[in-house]
Chain A
């Protein structure tokens, strides 16, 4: 089992729809969770982080964390073609892993005009 798994995609949604990106993690002691956006040929860009159970909203983005289910998601409301990118989930396991992040392989999102 991979430490961080994301829905494999690719995911395609129409413009204006809600895009839902999902991520599960295996280490129950994981403490902090991150979503990065990566455009083709570019570097990952941090868009959201969440540390506590529940929802965290930032503009059109909402991160949701459920530690009991070991599940973190990213919702993108009113999706735009400019949201088309690969989204990476990353997890900090805490403890002896310190500052290290473990990344999922990413979900490719396409928003169709």
Chain B
């Protein structure tokens, strides 16, 4: 009954490589979100999804791709990683209200 999990928790990759961050939730929440958190910028929304096969851009979508074939999973892919994508990435899901609940995060370093 982990709620919302993310994997990997830590990742180091090289510039230009593709990397996928996984997010899984067991609550059957319809809405899921991806954020990045950087010093000086706070939490910024990358993409979100209202349901399986429905996704939409957030504030900073460039360089990222998402998919949602199943309600419980919402992977985030960096197609060609850049150093500016070094960040902490959080996945979240939304309950019936507007409250969002966050996963533990993935710390990504692009060298």
Contact = CB atoms under 8 A, between A and B. Distances in A.
Interface in A38-55: 42-46, 49
A99 B98 CA distance: 6
Contacts of B102: 36, 43-45
Interface residues of A, number: 21
A17 B100 CA distance: 29
Interface in A53-104: 88, 90, 92, 98-101, 103-104
A99 B31 contact: yes
Interface string B20-53: 0000000000010100000011111100101000
Interface string A12-55: 00000000000000000001101010000011111001000000
A32 B90 CA distance: 21
A101 B98 contact: yes
Nearest to A92: B98
Contacts, number: 50
A34 B99 contact: yes
A32 B101 CA distance: 15
B56 to A, nearest CB: 8
Contacts of B90: 43-44
B68 interface: no
A105 B50 contact: no
Given A46-B100, A49-B97, A92-B98, A103 B31 contact: no
B99 A49 contact: yes
A60 B4 CA distance: 27
Interface in B78-111: 90, 94, 97-105
Interface of A: 31-32, 34, 36, 42-46, 49, 88, 90, 92, 98-101, 103-106
Interface of B: 31, 33, 40-45, 48, 50, 58, 90, 94, 97-105
Given A34-B98, A105-B40, 12 more contacts: A32-B97, A36-B102, A42-B105, A43-B90, A44-B102, A46-B101, A99-B48, A100-B33, A103-B43, A104-B42, A105-B42, A106-B42
